[in-house]
């Protein structure tokens, strides 16, 4: 998949409010594979909504979103499974980890769908993010910042053409952000993938081809 098109999309919660002025809503634009995009706005402007629309979780909007030439509302359940398994990965703001599973079990559950990473590669990722001693700890016992790192590693353990990251570093310090962002950049380069990253204002250490204000 080479392109995500967002054509005159407007969330239902904005429609009719007079608050639709933005660089994304009601516009025609495209996100291209291999490029990095920053989506920046204060809370409540729709950053998470946009990523949820692209991931096919929500449909409370007017307009069209296309993956290459396929409109989202035409995709079958089987096609969505393929998209989410091999084309688009996502780091959710709420993380959506399994609290009763260990950190490494959360990653393995995702990795087993495609066998994208070897066990050695997964262990190495935990070492690099500084959580090697927490691999067998249940996620419920980890801090939110530690959980964020686990969720990011999990999202990298699948093939993807685009990765959606919704405020992924909000609970990380500068040192951990640098380490984790470096790993993400390696994966983006390896896959020639695109990045859509939402923040409240922070830019984080990526080179963005375009920045959008919501």
pLDDT of residue 15: 81
Residue 161, SS3 per DSSP:
coil
What is the distance between the alpha carbons of residues 125 and 186, in angstroms, rounded to a whole number?
A: 12
Task: Render 113-138 in DSSP notation, one character per residue.
Answer: TTT-S-HHHHHHHHHHTT-GGGTTSB
CB 8 within 8 A of CB 29: no
Between CA 95 and CA 172 the distance in angstroms is: 14
DSSP state of 73: G
Q: Which residue range forms the structural domain that includes residue 154?
A: 3-213
* Angle, in degrees to the nearest 10, between helices 144-156 and 103-111: 20
pLDDT at residue number 18: 60
The CATH number covering residue 82 comes to: 3.40.50.300
| Calpha distance 3→41 (Å, rounded) | 23
Residue 165's φ and ψ, nearest 5 degrees, are -130, 115
Instruction: Report the distance separating Cα 30 and Cα 65, nearest Å.
Output: 9
Query: Number of structural domains, the chain?
Result: 1
CB burial class (10 A; 0-12, 13-18, 19+) of residue 42? exposed
**Burial (CB count within 10 angstroms: exposed 0-12, middle 13-18, buried 19+), residue 130:** middle
Tell me, what's the pLDDT at 44? Answer: 81
Strand residues in 41-144 grouped as ranges (E): 61-67, 70-71, 88-91
* 28, 89 Cβ separation under 8 angstroms: no
How does pLDDT run along the chain (214 residues), one tens digit per residue? Answer: 999 999 999 999 988 776 656 899 999 999 999 999 999 988 888 999 999 999 999 999 999 999 999 999 999 999 999 999 999 999 999 999 999 999 999 999 999 999 999 999 999 999 999 999 999 999 999 999 999 999 999 999 999 999 999 999 999 999 999 999 999 999 999 999 999 999 998 889 999 999 999 8
Q: What's the confidence (pLDDT) of residue 61? A: 96
**Whole-angstrom distance, CA of residue 108 vs CA of residue 83:** 19
Interatomic CA distance for residues 94 and 178, integer angstroms: 21
Q: 3-class DSSP state for residue 11? A: strand
């Amino acid at each position: 998949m080479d392109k995500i098109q967002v054509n005159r999309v407007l969330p239902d919660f904005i429609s009719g409010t007079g608050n639709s002025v933005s660089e994304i809503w009601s516009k025609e634009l495209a996100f291209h594979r291999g490029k990095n995009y920053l989506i920046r706005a204060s809370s409540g402007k729709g950053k998470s909504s946009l990523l949820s629309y692209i991931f096919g979780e929500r449909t409370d909007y007017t307009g069209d979103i296309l993956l290459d030439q396929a409109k989202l509302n035409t995709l079958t359940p089987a096609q969505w499974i393929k998209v989410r398994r091999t084309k688009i990965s996502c780091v959710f703001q709420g993380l959506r980890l399994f609290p009763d599973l260990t950190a490494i079990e959360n990653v393995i559950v995702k990795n087993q769908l495609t066998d994208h990473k070897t066990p050695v590669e997964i262990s190495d990722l935990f070492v690099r993010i500084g959580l090697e001693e927490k691999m067998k700890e249940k996620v419920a016992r980890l801090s939110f910042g530690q959980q964020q790192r686990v969720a990011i590693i999990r999202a990298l353990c699948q093939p993807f053409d685009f990765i959606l990251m919704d405020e992924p570093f909000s609970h990380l310090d500068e040192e951990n952000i640098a380490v984790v962002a470096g790993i993400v950049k390696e994966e983006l380069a390896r896959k020639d993938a695109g990045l859509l990253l939402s923040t409240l204002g922070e830019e984080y250490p990526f080179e963005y081809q375009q920045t959008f204000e919501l």
